């Protein structure tokens, strides 16, 4: 209608398209939001980043490793659709093979082994491939004597893989345990949300655990807990600030300073 009455095309509107903040409901220029690392300048809400965006703002260089490990539908699982179809849908949507990318990243002259979960791929859930890639990148960090940095954003274990998924909790914890026995430095970065079997395994095992502001972190979600205990939870319960206040994480770090924080941590610990 605007085009008809004012002869103006949408792409000619100064500043580009708008994005509405789901937290404060303010409209933000999309270009301005992107320039601010997808953080709302009104309320500091941290929008979700893609894996590539996370790599671009955090590392000076990144080389993916252990690609080509593909998930399989071992159980012939069907919910609202066959698991095999759900995998194809997620792969088509994200253009990724699985819910994690691992590799070696650098910040300045500091090398580190890195894993980043992709929430857009079946909720960042941990199936056999995710567990295997974390296992391999952790062993790589141990062999090369690199710091290990894992970014978690997940709904938990992948139910479509059943017990095979739950086994990854023990597998990843075991790999990280051996890495720590060799005096490895594991930095866990918790993003929104980090829940379920991921929070109950490798995500909370960091030597240093940091989180972005406002991230939901816990095993069961607040709604499930309230329904179970039949009580109202405290304001901000399970958010990163609440966990910091109660000693469950070490720091809440703004997105714009995570890169510098990681560099300082690896330097301080001699990596």
* 43 marked as binding residue: yes
* 152 marked as binding residue: no
**Contact criterion met (CB below 8 Å) for 176 and 138:** yes
Sign, CA torsion 134/135/138/144: negative
Distance, in Å, from the CA atom of 141 to the CA atom of 213, rounded to the nearest integer, reads 28
Please count the residues of the chain.
271
Burial environment of residue 23 by CB neighbours within 10 A (0 to 12, 13 to 18, 19 or more): middle
Q: Which residue has the tokens 């560099």?
A: 263
* Helix, strand, coil percentages for the chain (3-state, nearest 5): 40, 20, 35
Sign, CA torsion 78/219/214/176: negative
Burial environment of residue 130 by CB neighbours within 10 A (0 to 12, 13 to 18, 19 or more): buried
Which helix (H) or strand (E) is 138 found in, with range? Answer: helix 128-144
**Contact criterion met (CB below 8 Å) for 197 and 159:** no
Pairing of strands 147-154, 186-194: parallel
* 70 marked as binding residue: no
* 24 marked as binding residue: yes
Phi and psi at residue 180, to the nearest 5°: -70, -35
Annotated binding site for Zn(2+): 21, 24, 40, 43
Annotated binding site: 21, 24, 40, 43
């Amino acid at each position: 209608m605007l085009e008809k009455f004012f002869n103006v095309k949408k792409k000619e509107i100064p500043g580009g398209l708008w994005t509405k903040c789901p937290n404060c409901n303010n409209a933000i220029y999309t270009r301005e939001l992107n320039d601010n690392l997808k953080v709302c300048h009104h309320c500091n809400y941290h929008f979700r980043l893609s894996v590539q965006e996370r790599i671009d703002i955090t590392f000076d260089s990144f080389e993916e490793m252990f690609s080509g490990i593909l998930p399989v539908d071992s159980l012939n699982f069907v919910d609202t659709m066959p698991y095999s179809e759900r995998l194809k849908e997620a792969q088509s949507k994200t253009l990724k093979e699985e819910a994690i990318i691992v590799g070696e990243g650098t910040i300045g002259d500091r090398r580190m082994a890195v894993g980043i979960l992709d929430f857009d791929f079946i909720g960042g859930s941990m199936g056999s491939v995710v567990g295997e890639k974390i296992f391999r990148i952790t062993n790589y960090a141990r062999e090369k004597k690199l710091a290990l940095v894992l970014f978690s954003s997940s709904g938990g274990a992948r139910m479509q893989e059943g017990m095979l998924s739950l086994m990854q909790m023990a597998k990843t914890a075991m790999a990280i345990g051996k890495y720590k026995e060799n005096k490895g430095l594991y930095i866990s970065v918790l993003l929104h949300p980090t829940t379920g079997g991921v929070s109950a395994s490798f995500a909370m095992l960091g030597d240093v655990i940091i989180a972005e502001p406002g991230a939901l972190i816990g095993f069961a979600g607040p709604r499930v807990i309230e329904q179970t205990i039949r009580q109202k939870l405290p304001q901000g319960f399970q958010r990163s600030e609440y966990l910091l206040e109660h000693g469950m994480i070490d720091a809440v770090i703004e997105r714009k300073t995570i890169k510098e924080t990681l560099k300082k941590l690896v330097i301080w610990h001699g990596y």
